[in-house]
Amino acid sequence: MNKNLFQTIRGAFVPQTTTVNDAGGVAYELSPKATLARIAVTGCFGRTFYASPELQLDRVLALLPKVDADFIAQTALYARRKGFMKDMPALLCAVLATRDLDRLAEIFPQVIDNGKMLRNFVQVLRSGITGRKSLGSAPKRLIRQWLERASDRQLLDASVGNAPSLADVVKMVHPRPVSKEREAFYAWLIGKPWDAEVLPEALRHYEAWKLSREGSIPEVPFQMLTALELGEKEWAAIAVTASWQTTRMNLNTFQRHGVFRDETMVDLLAARLADPDRIRRSRVFPYQLLVAFLNASHELPLKLREALQDAMEASVENVPQIDGEVVVCPDVSGSMGTSVTGYRPGASSKVRCVDVAALVAAAFLRKNRSARVLPFEFQVKDVSLNPRDSVMTNATKLAGLFGGGTNCSAPLAKLNQEKAKPDLVIFVSDNESWADPRQGRGTAVMAEWEKLKQRNPKAKLVCIDLVPNTTTQAPDRRDILNIGGFSDSVFDLISAFAAGADGSDHWVREIEKQSLTPRVKIA
């Protein structure tokens, strides 16, 4: 007998590949629901290493007819609540405007939860990409209801931004003012004559302050203030009242304008940045703290730089502690150099996929001190990490290994060469593996995983994808979990999986837990 063909029965358990990925490597196609879930929590309609925004949109539009309206609604809820996404939930709501108006009405207030999301929804719907260019009576009614229920502060926040602006939206839907204050606000917003005596208090204060520059700083959005000429005193007053996110994003700005000459301001902002409750309420991505730290001016006071590190530790507090041996495999290959939100002129995050992969690995090492970290490209890279170092320090060190082709099977092959018996292996990648050695009917990842399972049948594999892909190197099953995204909600899913949850469609089932009103069945 041919020993190369019949050397082991193990190959019989490796599933046959069903497609190729964008890099040209063999892969497994995800189910329509799993694909939508992946795209919904990673897709920002920016250019990735292999896929254009147009290709991503085409894939979504081709996919949506294959899933029911309830799952579209649940995915929109999950992507907004758990994934903290903006563009994809707005698109899914716009699709429901043509598929199921009842479901749209039900989830609209939960998904379209601020002015930015409202403007996104209108932009998508008016583009005609979902099949209609006019808003239609039902969407108009939902938008009017949102405007009626919004607080003065919510409307002020929503007034910042264009294409469309809130003024454009108001002109489209013609909301009925519920008070004299709201009538004056709409007039101010769209450029009509307005009565200063009945403007909302914050806006009245703002208009008066613009003329006199006397008294306290008005409580209006940061952008409305920074559009004016301000002195050091005004900048300090803005810093005192700034939100957590505004503080994080404008440390260098405050530094340039002399805010930190006052040591009490340094203490105030450092305490704000490191406050766990504020961090939780801000819905910050852990990677956003990494970019704030990396971009912080060297002139920034040490207390503030340390506060960013404290904030990072707090933002990954729900990284699970895993019983048994843990191995984390961050992809540091060349394709991971793309922006984690995709490239889009004027709107791209400076954080790369490799930075996020490194951050996840460093976070797991911080909570699981005995974990191994195996960064890979063509092969596994040697790196020495101290689990006592901060998440920031280890993440920066890992990201510095960037470069090379993608061979997702390399870490598993190394573990097999060592005859290691890990209990949980976690990949953080763009999943675009193409440089793996060919091994029979399946992917090299699955061939190596089956070898590892021979030594530890209880071992589990997690594949975290950071880009809106439609394929995987290891299909879902009881011992394999595929998830996507870069919010800390992935840690909750990993924790449940490591504790015994079945990986087969586990993520899809989590999305289907998003509560919807039961449909009335007509006999």
215: pLDDT strictly greater than 90: no
523: pLDDT strictly greater than 60: no
What per-residue confidence (pLDDT) applies to 11?
47
422: pLDDT strictly greater than 90: yes
Mean of the per-residue pLDDT values of the chain: 90
What per-residue confidence (pLDDT) applies to 372?
97
CB contact burial 441-451 (16+ within 10 A = b; e otherwise): ebbbbbbbbbb
Q: Where in the chain is the domain with CATH 3.40.50.410?
A: 322-511
Residue 172's φ and ψ, nearest 5 degrees, are -75, -40
What per-residue confidence (pLDDT) applies to 448?
96
Across the range 211-222, mean pLDDT stands at: 84
**pLDDT digits 0-9 by tens, 384-419:** 999 989 888 999 999 999 999 999 999 999 999 999
**pLDDT digits 0-9 by tens, 73-102:** 999 999 999 998 999 999 999 999 999 999
**pLDDT digits 0-9 by tens, 145-159:** 999 999 999 999 999
State the pLDDT confidence band at 54, using cuts at 50, 70 and 90.
Answer: confident
230: pLDDT strictly greater than 90: no
Q: How far apart are CA 78 and CA 69, in angstroms?
A: 14
9: pLDDT strictly greater than 50: no
* Residue among 295, 301, 224, 294 at smallest CA distance from 259: 301
Residue 299's φ and ψ, nearest 5 degrees, are -85, -10
Share of the chain above pLDDT 90, in %: 68
Give the E-state strand segments of 107-163 in sequence order. none
What per-residue confidence (pLDDT) applies to 61?
92
**pLDDT digits 0-9 by tens, 304-356:** 999 999 998 888 877 889 999 999 999 999 999 998 887 766 656 778 899 99
**pLDDT digits 0-9 by tens, 240-258:** 989 999 999 999 999 999 9
Q: How far apart are CA 80 and CA 418, in angstroms?
A: 42
What per-residue confidence (pLDDT) applies to 166?
95
Q: In the CATH scheme, what is the homologous superfamily, with its name and number, of domain 322-511?
A: von Willebrand factor, type A domain (3.40.50.410)
Structural element, H or E, at residue 509? helix 506-511
Strand 26-29 to strand 471-472: parallel, antiparallel, or no bridges (unpaired)? Answer: antiparallel
Across the range 213-233, mean pLDDT stands at: 84
